[in-house]
Amino acid sequence: MYEDECIKSTEDYYLLCDTEGPWATVLEALAAIGIAVTILLLLAFLFLMRRVQDCSHWNVLPTQFLFLLGVLGLFSLAFAFIAPFSEQTAPVRYFLFGVFFALCFSCLLAHAFNLVRLVRDRVSYSWLTVLGIAIGASLLQIVIAIEYVTLIMTRGLTFMHMTLCQLNLDFVVLLVYVLFLMALTFFVSKATFCGPCDNWKKHGKLIFVTVLVSIIIWVVWISMLMRGNPQLAACCSQQHPQWDDPIICIGLVSNAWVFLLLYVIPELCILFRASRQDCPPPGIACTVPTYQRNLCVENQELSRARDSDGAEEDVALTSHGAPIQLQNVDPTQEYIIPRAKLSSQQDAGL
């Protein structure tokens, strides 16, 4: 009775209310929970954006907020794969799948580039620069997806008239740039392990682990889509593979949860601790390397310089070896410059 009403009311979207298909029910639940959790995390990031005082932490917050919007889009896109393949769902699948993943990996790449500077005790990029890197890196995937969908929709051969092998091949080929972003983010995140500032390396480790697990997920679902499912259908004497949509949807939802559990939630915990601290003054945020400390000590010991007449005079130097500006000296105050005293042996020699 319920099944007949479900078919009659939803027609093409029967799987959205099908209780006999376990994969659809489980993925619907995971996607719905993921949407709710992502919305809560978005609100938490908005709250922390007003409390974080550390400039280096705050500059990446807009990019992480954009990353969460991409994750929210991934969870929402799962329902397009649960619904049967049709003229309405096909363009949504082929366009948004690569775009949302390109946006997420571009945000991770921008964060990794910023961490490469921070672990080397350099100044962080501005929030506009980090956000611009993330958006700019994802634009190419948007152009590729628009070109493909427009080409398919305007020519005579539509999605419904393409063979299953051609559909799967085109779907994977459209994601080549996403795979490039994934590999680039992986190697850039490894570069964050090299540097004197250990307090920033934990962010790089989160990105590294997140991208590594994502690579494993992508290798599995692409292998199953291109090789495993056709062989399974041949063994079961089926004309068409029955697990193409579930495989892609499982990879989509699992990767979105990886983004939340391995990157967003740990970053949120770090930001919450950082929100209780003030912006550290320059030079205290991380330990100065040994060779820089030795150079500063040597500069401080160089307290004598020669004037234009060749005579020696005492010059005060800063910790970086730069002389103090004379404009900062009060001319009305008397200063006593100590002269070097010679030992008795040196005096006798003269």
pTM over 0.85, yes/no:
no
DSSP output for 107-171: HHHHHHHHHHHHTTT-PPPPHHHHHHHHHHHHHHHHHHHHHHHHHHHHSS--GGGS-HHHHHHHH
Q: Is pLDDT at 180 greater than 50 in this prediction?
A: yes
Q: How many residues does the chain have?
A: 350
HSE-up of residue 303 (Cα within 13 Å, Cβ side): 10
What is the reported pLDDT for 345?
A: 55
Q: Is pLDDT at 307 greater than 50 in this prediction?
A: no
HSE-up of residue 28 (Cα within 13 Å, Cβ side): 14
Look at 32-36, 86-90, 294-298, 344-348 and tell me which has the smallest mean pLDDT: 294-298
Q: Is pLDDT at 290 greater than 70 in this prediction?
A: no
CB-count exposure of residue 62 (10 Å: 0-12, 13-18, 19+) = middle
Residue with tokens 């995140």: 189
Residue of 108, 168, 158, 112 whose CA lies nearest to 138:
108
Q: Is pLDDT at 110 greater than 90 in this prediction?
A: yes
